[in-house]
Amino acid sequence: MRSAGGQILADVLGRPVTHVTRRRATQRGTALLALDVLAPDAPRASRATGTTYEPRPAHVEHYAQRRVRFAELYDTGQTPGTYLTTEP
């Protein structure tokens, strides 16, 4: 994950986002789910993680306002961009 993408994701979600550096992370997750069923007491290997991005309060608020506006437009059936046009 590039740093800008991780930071934006943290800002949009309003939660810390930690980059998982392990390749094939979904395969590891599947294996861990199977391990929970087959051997719930077996030890797990530690996660390979990178940078943790903390949400920036001003940006969190910005994205929260955009989410509200999007929901309003979505509920009215407007498509993105149509609310910017003016009627003749």
Q: Which residue range(s) make up the domain with 33?
A: 3-84
Return the higher-pLDDT residue of 36 and 81: 36
Per-residue burial over 34-48, b if 16 or more Cβ lie within 10 Å, else e, is eeeeeeeeeeeeeee
Q: Domains in the chain: how many in total?
A: 1
**Which pLDDT band, with edges at 50, 70 and 90, does 3 fall under?**
confident
**Which pLDDT band, with edges at 50, 70 and 90, does 76 fall under?**
confident
Distance CA 29, CA 24 (A): 9
Query: DSSP label at 86?
Result: -
DSSP structure string for 21-70:
--TTHHHHHHHHHHHHHH-TTS--PPP-EEEEEPPPHHHHHHHHHHHHHH
**Which pLDDT band, with edges at 50, 70 and 90, does 81 fall under?**
low
Instruction: Give pLDDT tens digits for 4-55.
Output: 899 999 999 999 999 888 788 788 889 889 999 999 999 988 888 889 999 9
Distance CA 52, CA 34 (A): 27
